[in-house]
């Protein structure tokens, strides 16, 4: 890649999540090593972010472009080695950025959870990006870094440390936190555009592969609570499972293609975990509530629900984000019956504090650790956190205060 004016450009920097990425870079970007700028469609709002964050952010450049103005987007993308973008819904505001990144061979990381949009990116751009060594890495937020990296760690631990293939990984989430308006706007857009049915395909992000009837049945999203003896707790469907599982299955498919298989007939699934004597009641209540909410989203009252929830640009209070947390327990089952356990946990709202850390460290991995990235400099395509960043991101997250552990 020829020399560019910037190492990273933060697009969508005046949004709720974008403002937090600016703060993270101001506090954590290595001085003198990472040249970064902020970008968006409104200069006045970007100037306000610089003033609000202060510190080194006061001196960063501002770049202006409407995300649907391809010429303006091209002018920004051509000047940077890495694009970090938080401007969603990405199906509405992300396509021109990805298009420019592929043409200008600029790496990109974002926090989309829009699997149907990413499937369209795969169909349109994967082969060209792969040929050029350009890494386009969606899902670099809470969806789906813990699921994807956790599975990767467990599988490789069983393969490398115990010398046995892994046949199954299950992830169990516990979360507490708030939600921002951008995330909700993305969810509503999925239903508004009629893409919700398409998103139910368990192998949506793994096109071109044949799957047996048994494999399809094992990979369907859970719909009911159950007692799981492997963790001695009640579990139920995880609301982000229909995103995370597709991402992990794309990692499985890509590693298989690169002769680094997770294992024959490998499967992945994830759940919400409920501990304590009333776990069954919590699992049943949350599952019922989630099902009713999904029905409501497909009914005429969807617009009313939308009007009552936080709007784009709004989000939880600082107190809520500081008090939030998540824990992801990962269980790997080997062919010979042995098990491996892992955990990823963080004190901080998962959809905001953790997401910002995941995304910013992903972008810094692309900008700072270029020579250490998995697959070497020639690996490219529409990738996942595990296939595009792997151990580099894991180490950066550990150094940034995230607990990531794996063992027997």
∠ CA 355-356-362, rounded to 5°: 90
Query: What pLDDT sits at residue 241?
Result: 94
d(CA 157, CA 219): 23
Give the dihedral of Cα atoms 224, 225, 226, 230; nearest 10 deg: 110
Question: Smallest Cα–Cα separation from 77: which of 111, 107, 50, 109?
Answer: 107
**What value does the mean pLDDT of the chain take?**
91
Q: Give me the percent of the chain exceeding a pLDDT of 90.
A: 74
Q: pLDDT tens digits, residue range 362-385?
A: 999 999 999 999 999 899 999 999
| Model confidence at 280: pLDDT above 70 | yes
Portion of the chain with pLDDT greater than 70, in percent: 92
Task: Identify the band that residue 208 occupies on the pLDDT scale cut at 50, 70 and 90.
Answer: confident
CB 70 within 8 A of CB 41: no
The residue ranking higher by pLDDT, 402 or 290, is: 402
Residue 299 has pLDDT above 80, yes or no: no
CA atoms of 235 and 171, how far apart (whole Å): 11
Name, of 243-247, 299-303, 311-315, the range with top average pLDDT.
Answer: 243-247
Per-residue pLDDT, averaged over 98-105, amounts to 98
Query: How does DSSP assign 284-345, residue by residue?
Result: HHHHHHHHHHHHHHTSTTHHHHHHHSPPTT----HHHHHH-EEEEEEEEEETTS-EEEEEEE
pLDDT of residue 363: 98
What's the CA dihedral at 29, 12, 177, 223 to 10 degrees? -120
| Gap between the Cα atoms of 278 and 225, Å rounded | 13
| pLDDT one-digit tens code per residue, 112-168 | 999 999 999 999 999 999 999 999 999 999 999 999 999 999 999 999 998 999 999
Residue-level pLDDT at 308: 58
Q: For residue range 114-128, what is the model confidence (pLDDT) as tens digits?
A: 999 999 999 999 999
Element (H, E) at 102: helix 95-104
CA distance 342 to 408: 8
Alpha helices by DSSP H, listed for 229-278, are: 241-257
Return the pLDDT at 134. Answer: 98
């Amino acid at each position: 890649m020829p020399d560019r004016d910037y190492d990273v450009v933060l697009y969508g920097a005046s949004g709720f999540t974008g403002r937090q990425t600016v703060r993270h870079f101001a506090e954590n970007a290595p001085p003198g090593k990472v040249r970064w700028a902020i970008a968006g469609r409104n200069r006045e709002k970007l100037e306000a972010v610089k003033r609000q964050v202060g510190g080194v952010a006061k001196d960063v450049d501002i770049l202006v472009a409407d995300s649907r103005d391809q010429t303006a987007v091209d002018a920004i993308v051509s000047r940077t080695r890495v694009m970090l973008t938080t401007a969603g819904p990405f199906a509405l505001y992300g396509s021109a950025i990805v298009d420019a990144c592929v043409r200008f061979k600029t790496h990109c990381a974002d926090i989309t959870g829009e699997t149907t949009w990413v499937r369209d990116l795969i169909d349109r751009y994967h082969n060209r990006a792969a040929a050029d060594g350009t890494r386009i890495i969606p899902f670099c937020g809470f969806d789906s870094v813990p699921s994807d990296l956790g599975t990767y760690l467990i599988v490789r631990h069983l393969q490398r440390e115990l010398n046995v293939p892994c046949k199954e990984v299950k992830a169990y989430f516990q979360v507490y936190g708030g939600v921002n308006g951008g995330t909700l706007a993305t969810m509503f857009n999925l239903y508004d555009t009629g893409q919700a049915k398409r998103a139910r395909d368990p192998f949506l992000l793994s096109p071109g592969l044949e799957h047996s009837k048994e494999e399809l049945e094992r990979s369907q999203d859970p719909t009911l609570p159950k007692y799981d003896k492997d963790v001695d707790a009640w579990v139920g469907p995880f609301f982000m499972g229909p995103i995370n599982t597709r991402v992990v299955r794309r990692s499985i498919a890509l590693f298989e293609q690169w002769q680094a298989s997770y294992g024959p007939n490998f499967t992945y699934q994830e759940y919400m975990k409920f501990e304590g004597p009333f776990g069954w009641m919590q699992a049943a209540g949350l599952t019922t509530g989630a099902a009713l909410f999904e029905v409501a989203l497909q009914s005429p009252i969807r617009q009313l629900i939308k009007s009552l929830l936080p709007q784009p640009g709004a989000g939880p209070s600082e107190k809520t984000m500081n008090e939030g947390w998540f824990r992801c327990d990962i269980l790997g089952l080997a062919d010979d019956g042995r098990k491996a356990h892992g955990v990823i946990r963080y004190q901080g709202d998962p959809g905001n504090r953790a997401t910002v850390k995941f995304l910013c460290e992903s972008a810094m991995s692309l900008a700072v650790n270029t020579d250490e990235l998995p697959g070497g400099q020639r690996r490219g395509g529409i990738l996942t956190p595990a296939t595009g960043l792997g151990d580099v991101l894991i180490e950066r997250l550990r150094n940034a205060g995230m607990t990531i552990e794996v063992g027997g």
